[in-house]
Structure 1
Amino acid sequence: MIGSGPHLGVQTPKEALLFIIAVPWPDPSKLKKPEEGTKPGLKLLASTPDTIRAWPGGFGYAKLGANYGPSLVAHGKAQAIGFDQILWLFGQDRQVTEAGASNFFIVWENKETGKIELVTAPLENQLILPGVTRRSVLQLARTELSKPTGSLAPVEVVERDFTISEVEQAWKEGRIIEAFVCGTAVSYTIPIIFFNNHMLTIGQFFVTPVKLIRNGDVDMDMLEAGAARGGYAVQIKSWLEAIMYGKDGKENDEWSYIIEGESEK
């Protein structure tokens, strides 16, 4: 949305232009597979205490250019040393919020109860975006992962404040199972792919695993941490893809809206 009135100065616009951009996502089955031996996933660099993306009373929960523009300097520095995104932390206790412009999730074993939890930051303090993909992940996890699913143990969904110190402690104690981010278009570039005979580069979408988190001088390997028990991100992503493309028993899912159109020639 762009203010379009004939005025200068800081004020609420009397008129505006609303742009809606619709693009098709390629069918995942048509994507070029990663080269053998490469580990898919994001490398995240934990933010330093002097960089802040969002704060209570601000607009960290809104999809605004002003929400992301100030974070680009830190993002550029992270990319320059081989990282994909910043894992944004907040406050003196260094609460985990978002990864770049994506919602962050971690699956771990609760130290007190021994139960497996899917944990993500809450919405109440308005530090993170209330993404539709985030909501979809949480709803699927609550309805489909509350019971054993294939080789996956049931999980308890938890929305609460948690800190990078908790993540690091769980990693050191071997309680991390996996971490992932989600969003409509996660900012993570995958290799060149071929789609309809055209060569292009796109960002990975929906759900993307996190393979490494660096906090200070500590590198936490998320893929190796719980390799034997992981697979939640892959399962959730497969459900979302099935709903989107109307396949694997999700042809008439309640989330789907079928748009009638001419058949491709």
Structure 2
Amino acid sequence: MDTMMTPYIPVSRAYRSRLSEVDWDNLQPGAVATDHMLICDYAGGRWKDAEIVPFGPFSLSPTSLVFHYGQTIFEGMKAFRTEDDRVHIFRPGKHYQRLVKTAQRLCMPVVAPEIFREGLRRLVELEKDWVPAQPGGALYLRPFQIATDTRLSVRVSDSYRFAIVCAPWGAYFPGPVKVKVEREFTRAAKGGTGFAKCGGNYGGALYPTEQAMAEGYDQVLWTDGIHHKYVEESGMMNVFFVFGDKLVTPPLTDTILDGVTRDCLLTLAADAGISVEVRPVSVEELQHGLETGVVKEAFGAGTAAVVSPIGTIGIDGKDYYLPVEDGEGHGLSQLLKNALDDIRYGRRPDVHGWNYFVDTAI
């Protein structure tokens, strides 16, 4: 991403900062947006000039296609402050690759890489005071794109708005997660949009998740949409299991999101010499492993939740329990989380080139 022309992105500064509204000792994920946002419109077959403006509402017609036919996509990213007080964006290139795939699946034009790259850098540089300094904190970045044509007919829009908003972020799950294996509802089917970060995937997941929460769970553990036999992912996280001394995670398909945190953990596991298996995991195998003690750990991985230990797995009405320590993982999950955090917060060398510092061109 570093050989492209760097676009000029004008900035209109907010009259008053809302930094004082942030409770830095009790960060609630996404509760307060930063002072500025980036917007860039697409019309007439091309992307217009991007600009950074004060955070505020959009003005859209009630007949805008985004409200009716589902052309809405997004990414979830983070910026971190290292221990030597530098600010970086974590793996923007990997996130852009996924945004491209999502846009193509939803018949949307792909925002120009130079707009994505420089827009993120300029925005985070401008909002660097919003990047938390405390351990576990980050600035969450939400690039998204919506269809803006105004007509009530099912069709691909000719105009779009791309935007980026930001918010300080703390721990998403304060303790170990309790999940329910979902055997009735389906998150994604083969040939669908399960691999994409589009609004419909999340809207369709709300009802079964609410049902699970009413039963005392935090998330559902999704299974395949055909036979509900194989584990796929958990809510907004990819899922990992430790069978004996092996780290196991389901393979990527068109029904599973290609998680950036998932990719990081697999890389770090290889660096540490951990035995890894990327293969299907059946509910029956998981249940047997829990009953016999072969399954030592389970955890979710995602940008929002980072690495979240799973303490309880509900299968067909029966709960199985896994050891956790004061809300933290242990064993492989904690080792991998520590390794990832050490890179993000600048405590160990970034040998994979994942940290893109905002005070240098990315």
| TM-score, normalized by the shorter chain, greater than 0.5 | yes
Cα offset for 1:72?
0.5
Cα offset for 1:23?
3.1
Q: Which residue of 1 aligns with 2:339?
A: 239
Cα offset for 1:250?
3.3
Q: Which residue of 1 aligns with 2:303?
A: 184
d(CA) in 1 for partners of 2:220 and 2:228?
Answer: 17
Q: Does residue 242 of structure 2 align to residue 142 of structure 1?
A: no
For residues 171-228 of structure 1, the C-alpha deviation after alignment (integer angstroms, 9 at most, x for no partner) is 112111100001011xxxxxxxxxxxxxxxxxxx31010000000122111227xxxx
The one-letter code of the counterpart of 1:16 is Y
The one-letter code of the counterpart of 1:11 is R
d(CA) in 2 for partners of 1:184 and 1:177?
Answer: 24
For residues 93-152 of structure 1, the C-alpha deviation after alignment (integer angstroms, 9 at most, x for no partner) is 61000111210000112xxxxxx21111111x31110011111111111112x1xxxxxx
Match of 1:66 among 200, 205, 214: 200
Q: Which residue of 1 aligns with 2:308?
A: 208
Q: Which residue of 2 aligns with 1:51?
A: 185
CA separation of 1:219/1:68 partners in 2, compared to 1, >3 Å: closer, same or farther? Answer: same
User: TM-score, normalization: structure 1?
Assistant: 0.73
CA separation of 1:251/1:66 partners in 2, compared to 1, >3 Å: closer, same or farther? Answer: closer
Instruction: Tell me the SS of whatever aligns to 2:357.
Output: coil
Q: Which residue of 1 aligns with 2:233?
A: 98
Instruction: Tell me the SS of whatever aligns to 1:104.
Output: strand
Cα offset for 1:51?
0.9
Contact 1:177-1:230 at 8 Å conserved across structures: no
The one-letter code of the counterpart of 1:57 is G
Structure 2 matches for 1:217-228, cutoff 5 A? 217-223=317-323
CA separation of 1:135/1:252 partners in 2, compared to 1, >3 Å: closer, same or farther? Answer: closer
For residues 29-85 of structure 1, the C-alpha deviation after alignment (integer angstroms, 9 at most, x for no partner) is xx9xx7xxxxx310001112x311111111111101111111111111111121100
Instruction: Tell me the SS of whatever aligns to 1:172.
Output: helix
The one-letter code of the counterpart of 1:139 is T
Q: Which residue of 2 aligns with 1:166?
A: 285
d(CA) in 2 for partners of 1:51 and 1:25?
Answer: 30
User: TM-score, normalization: structure 2?
Assistant: 0.54
Cα offset for 1:239?
1.5
CA separation of 1:243/1:162 partners in 2, compared to 1, >3 Å: closer, same or farther? Answer: same
Aligned length: 210
Match of 1:6 among 150, 171, 174: 150
Q: Does residue 248 of structure 2 align to residue 119 of structure 1?
A: yes
Aligned Cα RMSD in Å? 2.2
Deviates more, 1:68-77 or 1:238-247: 238-247
Cα offset for 1:251?
6.7
Instruction: Tell me the SS of whatever aligns to 2:310.
Output: strand
d(CA) in 2 for partners of 1:179 and 1:54?
Answer: 22
Cα offset for 1:256?
1.6
Contact 1:246-1:252 at 8 Å conserved across structures: no
d(CA) in 1 for partners of 2:185 and 2:351?
Answer: 45
Match of 1:254 among 338, 343, 353: 353
Q: Which residue of 1 aligns with 2:4?
A: none
Could you list the runs of 5+ residues in structure 1 that have no partner in the other structure?
35-39, 110-115, 147-154, 186-204
Match of 1:15 among 133, 141, 159: 159
d(CA) in 2 for partners of 1:163 and 1:42?
Answer: 20
Contact 1:96-1:162 at 8 Å conserved across structures: yes
